Amino acid sequence: MSFLAKLIEAVTDIWTASGYVGITFGHVVMIGISFLLIYLAIKKGFEPLLLIPIAFGMFLVNLPLTGLMNPPQGEAAGGLLYYLFQGIHLEIFPPLIFLGVGAMTDFGPLIARPSSLLLGAGAQFGVYFAFVMALLFGFTPQEASAIGIIGGADGPTSIFLASKLAPHMIGPIAVAAYSYMALVPLIQPPIMKLMTTKEERMVKMDQLREVSKLEKIVFPLIVTAIISLLLPSIAPLIGMLMLGNLFKESGVVERLSDTAQNALINIVTIFLGLTVGATANAEVFLKSQTLILIGLGLVAFAFSTIGGLLIGKIMYRVSGGKINPLIGAAGVSAVPMAARVCQVVGQKENPSNFLLMHAMGPNVAGVIGTSVAAGVLLTLFGH
């Protein structure tokens, strides 16, 4: 065999073993979606800490033959992202994320205005609405529960519930939940403007009362006890959320608090984002059932926003115009993105309006509310 023939054979072997041969139209579509998410994260600033690792994981897994999500076979090791994915499969990452969220969150606005719990509860309307819609589309109660919880805009809770009730759908559910969380600044403002009048959006709210340190220390202990006893299945999430908050408010474990709200949550976010994105391969993602799921997730999120705003409008009337109904939109548990959106929309109508701290009350109530909703669904359909 001549040198030229050997060279052609070698090049042919390399080509046939490459991923270029295995790439499909579906892979191209998913890679295009990943690039769009990266664009939104970098150019538009839509929660880049979430979108960039998710989008890059999606990009990687749709490059054929990389084997990043392959399970171990015999003595052959599995792919890198397969092992990282075990943090989701074994329900480790979601509680750790909640630990960091708790350490970063000030429950003071909620303690100062307990009525914020009503706004957080109202924002769970989308969860149950989408649950019923999913049943009508032929999903099982377990699958419908996992789809509905997307409406809470809480990625860790969505993953936690899906891993227990519908593990075969964890990829699309996780991608949908985190994508809608990141797109809060795009999705919520049109709904907020549609549901409220200019007069309502211009309302300036009175300053919140100062909350004592004792109240802030006692609060996580009481909430953990009440919810964990009522819904034991959700104790990992609520327990870690309140432990992180206790780190923050105790004032005696600054190192632990700093680690939880910085190094730990950043590391877990990288691993979680990459592996969530890596579940979005074309073979699983581009199916009619998956596309319906994503659509229902958007419906759930939209109706959660509407539910919070409706409660906000009721509170506006009952309070004699002292409550700005915009803060109802923060009842979804996308912390602190939804609260920031309330601030931006309110300030556009009235430049002297500062709604951020008022919106944080419903926002953190939404975290608790979504966890409770997940616990209820898990209790009803987890057997």
Provide the whole-model pTM: 0.89
How many Cβ atoms from other residues are within 10 Å of residue 344's Cβ? 16
Per-residue pLDDT tens, the chain, 383 aa: give them.
Answer: 677 888 888 888 888 888 888 899 999 999 999 999 899 889 988 778 888 999 999 999 999 989 899 999 988 899 999 999 999 988 899 999 999 999 999 999 999 999 999 999 999 999 999 999 999 999 999 999 999 999 888 889 999 999 899 988 888 888 888 888 888 888 999 999 999 999 999 999 988 899 999 999 999 999 999 999 999 999 999 999 999 999 999 999 999 999 999 999 999 999 999 998 998 888 888 888 888 998 999 999 999 999 999 999 999 999 999 999 999 999 988 888 899 999 999 999 989 889 999 999 999 999 999 999 999 999 999 86
State the alpha helices, DSSP H only, in 106-183.
108-112, 116-122, 125-136, 141-148, 155-165, 170-182
Of the candidates 107, 147, 166, the residue with the CA atom closest to the CA atom of residue 303: 147
DSSP 220-284: HHHHHHHHHHH-GGGHHHHHHHHHHHHHHHHSS-HHHHHHIIIIIHHHHHHHHHHHHHHT--HHH
User: DSSP class of residue 71?
Assistant: P
CA 151 to chain CA mean position, Å: 9
Q: What is the pLDDT of residue 383?
A: 67
Q: What is the pLDDT of residue 198?
A: 93
Q: What are the φ/ψ torsions at residue 76 (nearest 5 degrees)?
A: -80, 130
Q: What is the pLDDT of residue 1?
A: 64
Surface-to-core class of residue 253, CB atoms within 10 Å of its CB (0-12 exposed, 13-18 middle, 19+ buried): middle
Of the candidates 198, 14, 220, 251, the residue with the CA atom closest to the CA atom of residue 107: 220
Contact by Cβ (8 Å): 296, 136? no
Surface-to-core class of residue 5, CB atoms within 10 Å of its CB (0-12 exposed, 13-18 middle, 19+ buried): exposed
Of the candidates 311, 362, 370, 372, the residue with the CA atom closest to the CA atom of residue 336: 362
Q: What is the pLDDT of residue 22?
A: 86
Of the candidates 20, 59, 19, the residue with the CA atom closest to the CA atom of residue 36: 59
85-283-151-35 Cα dihedral, nearest 10 degrees: 80
What are the beta bridge partners of residue 73?
76
Of the candidates 226, 239, 204, the residue with the CA atom closest to the CA atom of residue 327: 204
